[in-house]
Amino acid sequence: MASASASPPANAHAPQALSKSTLLGGVGDLDAAVSLRLHALFLPVPRLLLKAFEVAGDGRIWLPVPISLLLISTTTSSVVSPLLVGLVVGLVLDLAFVGLAKLIVRRPRPAYNAADMYVAVSVDHWSFPSGHSSRAFLVAAFLADGGLPLPRELLFLWAAATSASRVLLGRHYILDVLAGAWLGVLEACLSNLILRFLCGRTSFLVC
């Protein structure tokens, strides 16, 4: 029989695994407790599936690809796709807003987060808000209004699944992904406003 004094594994779901943020206070403590419970409850979900959502919402895919397509379109055509311009604007806004918020709040990631994340810049060591959630909801909200032949429900289902995977993987707390989702929708609205402004003042955009 194992000794009762045996130390738990590093990812044990114990109260000390909760993280505190000065700015979030007691709300952060409650959020951490509920997030820990959800993470433990959904441990049977295949981690490979959750990591597939992680990759699908990764900024190292979503930022370079639209920028590359935009640069290619400017060299091959006199007309630039407003969809690409708006998406790039939104993604740049997202990078700035999320990075600033993380530096201000400085909430540590969950202690039970497994050490299998991709290499990240230092600002991404912080948890609030979730960049994956903000990016996913930005893309979903922007494309849903972009006239593409994609079901709105499918776009937002992907965004919601990507956000949920952050909590189930132990990368973020619930409040992180809710704040990220709200921020992403706001960024989509700002991107659309900027796009409309540019469309009225430039000739290379056919809107």
Strand partners, 108: 126
Mark out the alpha helices in 6-81 (DSSP H runs). 25-41, 47-56, 59-62, 64-76
pLDDT of residue 135: 95
| Average pLDDT of the residues in 42-48 | 91
What pLDDT score does 126 carry? Answer: 87
Query: What's the confidence (pLDDT) of residue 17?
Result: 42
Q: Residue 53 and residue 199: Cα distance in Å, rounded?
A: 34
Given a cut of 50, whether residue 8 has pLDDT beyond it is no
What is the reported pTM? 0.80
* DSSP label of 73: H
Active-site positions read: 132, 172
